[in-house]
Amino acid sequence: MAESHSHIAPRPLYGVTIHHCIAGGNLGEMKKLVQEAEQHLREHGDVRASLELLKLEIAKLESRK
């Protein structure tokens, strides 16, 4: 049976969190953060691509003014 990670408290997955985890040097925490980030990608997809689409839509709307 696959291990459930639903008990993991959510934390923001952005550069500061990842860099802080790396700087901490705790291998267990690093591996846990990788699992959280991979789960986030499975559930929400590539945020960078969505952000670019959002910026394009903003530019379209602003150009209509």
Residue 42 domain-assigned (yes or no) = yes
Counting the structural domains of the chain, the total is 1
Range of the domain at 29: 15-63
Residue 4 domain-assigned (yes or no) = no
16-35 confidence digits (pLDDT tens): 889 999 999 999 999 999 99
Q: Which of 35, 34, 41, 42 is nearest to 18 (CA)?
A: 34
Average pLDDT over residues 8-19: 77
Residue 2 domain-assigned (yes or no) = no
C-alpha 24/C-alpha 30 separation (Å) is: 9
Q: Which of 3, 65, 62 is nearest to 32 (CA)?
A: 3
C-alpha 20/C-alpha 37 separation (Å) is: 14
If one compares 62 and 10, the residue with the highest pLDDT of the two is 62
C-alpha 33/C-alpha 13 separation (Å) is: 8
Average pLDDT over residues 1-8: 48
